[in-house]
Amino acid sequence: MTNSRQRGRLVVLAGPAGVGKSTVVSELRKAYPALWFSVSATTRQRRPGEVEGEDYHFVSATEFDRMIAEDELLEWADIHGGLHRSGTPREPVERRLAAGLPALVEVDLQGARSLRKTMPEAILIFLAPPSWDEMVERLVGRGTESSDDVSRRLATAREELAAQQEFDEVVVNADLKQTVERLLTLLLGEAPDEGATSTISAQERCE
């Protein structure tokens, strides 16, 4: 007897630093407590208030090397010019999808490109800011990075914004409630809107 269970839907969320990804994910969890969110492994230092195993799995560079060597990561990337590395643990995501349940993964542009190749069925969503100035204000206002780190993140953000046409849908994070509602819809079954209008609109707002 063959197993006819439908594989779960994988939604990949990416976007520049300061766009509000953490806030969106937090609100998604409140709106839909059953939502499963992949917890990335990272070599960066833990920020104040972050919880091990909830925000990230904080690992050493040596442990990260081992995870790469043993193919335990679906994707991984050097972040901000090698400042640190982050990746998506493979086993929890594969187990979730095999059970026919949806999964949400947050990655950077490199990670999204890797997952496009390794898991072509994934739906790639780009979270865009309402404007460049608002994104810069959010990033600087966090007060968690040095001026050099902010400069690196903004340089990365320009590259990411220029690549948003590679994604299945662009969601402009102008209204948190609407952003959360749209992502929930995509997670729970609706196909992405592949029209060019949302992408063009987001690009124009960020120029």
Per-domain residue ranges of the chain: 10-188
List the beta bridge partners of residue 85. 78
**The whole model's pTM is what?**
0.81
In this model, does residue 50 exceed pLDDT 80?
Answer: yes
Residue 206 to residues 3, 76, 120, 129, 201: CA-CA distances in angstroms?
Answer: 46, 27, 28, 7, 9
Residues near 191 by beta carbon (within 8 Å), at least 6 away in sequence: none
Burial class (CB in 10 A: 0-12, 13-18, 19+), 106: buried
| Helix (H/G/I), strand (E/B), else coil: 51 | coil
Q: What is the pLDDT of residue 5?
A: 74
Kindly indicate whether the domain formed by 10-188 is annotated with CATH number 3.40.50.300: yes
Residues 18-28, mean pLDDT to the nearest whole number: 89
> Residue 128 and residue 203: Cα distance in Å, rounded?
8
Cα–Cα distance measured from residue 103 to residue 188, given in angstroms and rounded to the nearest whole number:
10
CA distance 171 to 140: 22
Q: Which two tokens stand for residue 178?
A: 């609407």
At residue 80, the pLDDT reads 67
Considering just the CA atoms, what is the radius of gyration of the chain in Å? 17
For 61-100, the pLDDT digits (tens) are 999 999 999 999 999 988 766 778 999 999 999 999 999 9
Which is nearest to 59 in space by CA: 87, 23, 83, 37?
A: 87
Torsion angle of alpha carbons 108, 38, 89, 20, nearest 10°? Answer: 20
